[in-house]
Structure 1
Amino acid sequence: MLRPEKKKTLILCCFVLLFVSLVASLPYFYKTFENGFVNQVSSKKRDNRPIKKLIYKDMIQSKEGEKAKKITPEALMPNRNHNYQALSYAYSAKWVNEVLQGKKHITGKKLVFLTFDDGPNNVITPKILDKLKKEKVPATFFTVGKEIGKEKRSILKREIKEGHAIALHSFTHDYHQLYPERKGNKDVIIKEVKANQDALKKQLGDHFHSSVFRYPGGHMSWKDLEESDQLLSEEGIQWIDWNAANGDALDDSQAPKTKDDMITFHKKTLNYFPDRGIRVILMHDAVGKKLTLEALDAIISYYKQEGYIFAVLH
């Protein structure tokens, strides 16, 4: 039988051995736990890719559990008037209008919106698109419904594919119907806007939708447009005018006669309208606008030199 002193010594030795064993095992248990935790986290799908790739070039999921569908930057964005690529430089017409009216302000950058009314046209529009492609800048095309048909489908699709936006500019562009006695006829205006939208959907698909409208002749030119403005707003459509122009909308007696005249006219309009950090330029891609095409390079160059960002309206 062990004496009490030896018994205490033995018990103490056992405790020491047990403690040493536990300490020696800690690295093993820690490593096992760490590996298990890391593996568990790694097994979960993580996505650290840039957001633009997720938006433009990757896969989208319409419903949980459904097969993902590939999209491309050039594809038309559902319920928009431009492609996925243009999402990064598309601005709400409502916001732009509020800036032009001095209700909101832009800081840290300057924006320019090249806009072309009254198309599409089989002759001039493709040439304008060629120049825009060469200069690598986008534009917004305000289309007239009666000019839209199957023969113009390829032009409209090209506008979307190359990063431009498509907007509304009535169906007939008939001042007498839209503004009898220079007063807005709300019923005719809304009817024509819807017909314009339907004509575009017929060529581009039901998933096309434009929320941007320009009154033929400009909102600034007519009276009693409050009711039509309200009806447009209820349809989710915003009207917008301009604060720069190249003069191609004027009649022959007033319109610029040469390329240099047009460039000079454009610069004069910059002094006529307040500079609020945004320029919306009125131009046309209709029949007989050859001078617009000739002066376009110089106008684009001016805004590039002034540090403007080229953008589109949605």
Structure 2
Amino acid sequence: MALGLTGCARSSGTASSGSSAASVGASASSATASATSPKPSPSSTTPAPFAAVGKYGVGDAVTHPTCPVPPSQHRTFKAPGKVVPDLPELSRGTDHGAAADKWVYPASSVQKWVTTPTTAPKNKKIAFITFDDGPTASMTPRELTNLEQARVPATFFMITPQLQDVQTSLLRRSLRDGNALAIHSYSHDYHYLFHGSASDKATHVSCDDDWAVAQARDVLGAGYYASGFRYPGGHMSWHNLRPADAALGRRGASWIDWNAESGDAEANPPRTPSGMVAYLKKTMAEEGNPRVLVILNHDAADKRLTAESMPSLIRYLKAQGYSFGVMN
């Protein structure tokens, strides 16, 4: 499988992907209301709601972090200096709503299952569909419709300043559907995040995460909390990240890479939906067809083929016996 840098195509200081947010229509609401998912059988891997209420700044007034704002093409958000009310669909202390409770897993568990496949649950197969580089106003709504029609959830790893570009109705729709809204950074700037010593990286990654969470809370509410963090380019692409990992850990966050992908950010990506399914199969086979899949996709503005291919990708995963989960 290609290194993470090929799986998240945004270079330092460039706006890689955008996607769109549309308001929720009646058809989306009805699709959500009828959505079902296989109920997990009682076991050590049964999803359980995770809450960090009272920890990691949950419920505090939203202010700018004390470290300098990381580089971003977006304007610095206006911190209100007060407790921002949560969106009605957000479960306080989480990155999701109540609809996700039956299929949410701790990010730390998913990280362990992917990095050490022998620890994965033996009584089931779980696929975590993930999207990086959103939200955007053009592709994110299309992916939400795909998920609603297939009755499966996904985890959206957000570049949080882009929350300023989408309508609140899109975010409420995503939470209502049972998706999770995790963190993919504030800056998405490789040079800022990963240049210099291990100590420099830890300083910048932790500062970036603080700004990312603050921006998310400014939009989603002071009760927002995500324990899933995806490094831009992927953890697998960088060296000397142990201090940065520890800094994230002190914030209650675990980094999440992937072990399968649609190929939508490769230098020579698939050109058709069937090509994307074939690419997914190839990356799964390279990893030994693991019981737990974390699948990299993007909901950037230029990822139209990903949206076109998602129904086929989901059908293939269902045919292979996978259930679906999200991370917090």
Compute the TM-score of the two structures, normalised by the length of structure 1: 0.73
Partner of 2:288: 274
Partner of 1:22: none
Residue 301 (structure 1) aligned with residue 315 (structure 2): yes
Map Cα deviations across residues 191-218 of structure 1 (whole Å, 9 max, x no partner).
Answer: 1111111111111111111111000110
Bigger Rg over Cα = 1
Task: Report the residue type matching 2:254 in the other structure.
Answer: Q
Partner of 2:45: none
Following superposition, the deviation at residue 120 of structure 1 comes to: 0.2
Aligned counterparts of 1:194 and 1:250: Cα–Cα separation in 2: 30
2:170 to 152, 155, 173: 155
Partner of 1:106: 121
Number of residue equivalences:
241
Contact residue 214 and residue 240 of structure 1 kept, 8 A? yes
Contiguous gaps of at least 5 residues in structure 2:
1-47, 50-87
Partner of 1:93: 107
Map Cα deviations across residues 81-108 of structure 1 (whole Å, 9 max, x no partner).
Answer: 1111211110011111111122623121
1:152/1:177 CA distance change after superposition, 3 Å: farther
Task: Report the residue type matching 1:185 in the other structure.
Answer: K
Aligned counterparts of 1:284 and 1:276: Cα–Cα separation in 2: 22
Partner of 2:57: none
Aligned counterparts of 1:158 and 1:99: Cα–Cα separation in 2: 29
The 5 A counterparts of 1:125-144 are: 125-144=140-159
Counting aligned pairs with the same residue, the percent is 36
Contact residue 132 and residue 296 of structure 2 kept, 8 A? yes
Partner of 1:221: 237
Task: Report the residue type matching 2:216 in the other structure.
Answer: L
Contact residue 117 and residue 285 of structure 1 kept, 8 A? yes
Residue 200 (structure 1) aligned with residue 216 (structure 2): yes
Q: Which has the higher mean CA deviation after the structures are superposed, 231-240 or 268-277?
A: 268-277
Contiguous gaps of at least 5 residues in structure 1:
1-54, 57-73
What SS does the corresponding residue of 1:148 show, helix, strand or coil? helix
Residue 116 (structure 1) aligned with residue 131 (structure 2): yes
Residue 168 (structure 1) aligned with residue 183 (structure 2): yes
Task: Report the residue type matching 2:221 in the other structure.
Answer: G
Task: Report the residue type matching 1:271 in the other structure.
Answer: A
Relative contact order higher in (CA < 8 Å, ≥ 6 apart): 2
> Which of the pair is proportionally richer in helix?
1
Root mean square deviation, CA, Å: 1.9
Contact residue 246 and residue 266 of structure 1 kept, 8 A? yes
Partner of 1:310: 324
Following superposition, the deviation at residue 146 of structure 1 comes to: 2.3
What SS does the corresponding residue of 1:142 show, helix, strand or coil? strand
Following superposition, the deviation at residue 150 of structure 1 comes to: 6.1
Map Cα deviations across residues 23-68 of structure 1 (whole Å, 9 max, x no partner).
Answer: xxxxxxxxxxxxxxxxxxxxxxxxxxxxxxxx99xxxxxxxxxxxx
Partner of 1:15: none
Map Cα deviations across residues 255-288 of structure 1 (whole Å, 9 max, x no partner).
Answer: 1122222221111101122333100000000120
1:109/1:234 CA distance change after superposition, 3 Å: same
Compute the TM-score of the two structures, normalised by the length of structure 2: 0.70
Partner of 2:31: none
Residue 81 (structure 1) aligned with residue 95 (structure 2): yes
Aligned counterparts of 1:111 and 1:265: Cα–Cα separation in 2: 19
Contact residue 135 and residue 166 of structure 2 kept, 8 A? no
Partner of 2:65: none
Partner of 1:242: 258
Aligned counterparts of 2:143 and 2:163: Cα–Cα separation in 1: 17
Following superposition, the deviation at residue 295 of structure 1 comes to: 0.8
